[in-house]
Amino acid sequence: MQIERVAILGINLHSTHIAECIANIGIPVVMYCINSQDMLCLNVVNDVNSLIQISNLESGIDSLKFADLIIDSMANNLDDKCQLYHQIINYINVNAIISLNSSIISLNALCDRLPSKVSHKLIIAHFSYIFKNSDLLECVIHSGNTNDMLTVFHEFCEIKLNKKVIICADIAGLLINRIGYFWIINFLINSYNFKIDIDIVDSLINEHICNSRLGIFRLLDSIGLDIFISELNKLIVNIAKDDLLFLAYNQIPKVIFQMIADKVTGCHSILGGFYRKYDTYHGSVNQMLDLSTGLYKSENSHIYDLDNIDKYKSFIYSTLSSVSAYITYIAEITGSDILTIDNIVKSSHELKYELSKIINKFNI
């Protein structure tokens, strides 16, 4: 068996990105509206690829039988998942794979509530929207999955999608999002605490830490700050209150939430985000948000102030040391090897070197 047709349940930013990735390799995709919320999200399917079709699950459920891979990208809870899978199970191909695009729902908890004819087909394969440029695909499998099914899915992801499959423990957030959110939050907190302008932070990250040219604040602008916080909130309610990520969440500067309240959220806002172009009588000016005041000011003409070099080193060392401590924590609760997680972080977040090497460089 090969995966030659794909169905995606749910229409949103996440599922549209997945559909485009699959259609771009020549595989036809049908995206199914499940509810009225999906209908409201149809406007995110811009310039629809000719290989992407839109259908309605209620009226088009019979067509699910043509799909070799069904990707569930619905943002709902365990009860809703169980109801959905009971609804579709009699309409799908006997060899079809069901892939749940979630880093929040526990595969084991879900499979415990499903009949074996559903659970044997089910895996988690999380296409991260926040870190969508990653060439890694996190998967969670269980004992009911057959080797043949896993081989078909593995080959589809690695050979056709060019995604390296990594098998993860069944924990909320998996690895990429769990550590990635912690990474971003700590840069937000320390940028505020160290009183370093955001364009300097992004420049430091681009030059010394990441191969990506976005830094942290331009990344958040490209995602949409409101989307980032919304996705983060879904994770926060699923982790322990003594988890370092939970504790860090409660230290996020209030200015971040004020930006969302003011609809200053980045790419989806006409008002700008952390950065904006501001039109004046003399022409447009590049501005950035001052985290201390919540007001905009001109970007720095000279990025590095030589008098503050030690301050910048302390900022990077403090931030990355916290991330390293969190990696150690995640390794302990999942029984994973720290070096393996370090390599996953390096690849998924486009680091120039392993995290430990970067930290040593800035240890003053």
Residue 162 clears pLDDT 60, i.e. is over it: yes
Architecture of 6-167 per CATH? 3-Layer(aba) Sandwich (3.40)
In the prediction, which pLDDT does 47 show? 52
Task: Give which of 137, 103, 138, 101 is closest to 122, Cα–Cα.
Answer: 101
Entry pTM: 0.89
Q: Do 11 and 41 meet the contact criterion of CB atoms below 8 Å apart? A: yes
Q: In the beta sheet, which residues pair with residue 123?
A: 99
| Percent of all residues in the chain with a pLDDT value above 90, rounded to a whole number | 65
Select 176-361's CATH number: 3.30.1490, 1.10.1040, 1.10.3470, 3.40.50.
1.10.1040
- Judged against a pLDDT cut of 80, whether residue 307 lies above it is answered with no
| Confidence at residue 303, expressed as pLDDT on a 0 to 100 scale | 67
Q: What is the pLDDT of residues 234-273, one digit of tens each?
A: 999 999 999 999 999 999 999 999 999 999 999 878 889 9
Looking at residue 336, its amino acid is S
CA 86 to chain centre: 28
The yes-or-no verdict on residue 108 having pLDDT over 70 is yes
Q: So where are the chain's domains?
A: 6-167, 176-361
Query: Is residue 23 a contact partner of residue 29, using CB atoms and an 8 Å limit?
Result: yes
Q: Do 361 and 217 form a contact (C-beta atoms < 8 A)?
A: no
Mean pLDDT of the chain, nearest integer:
90
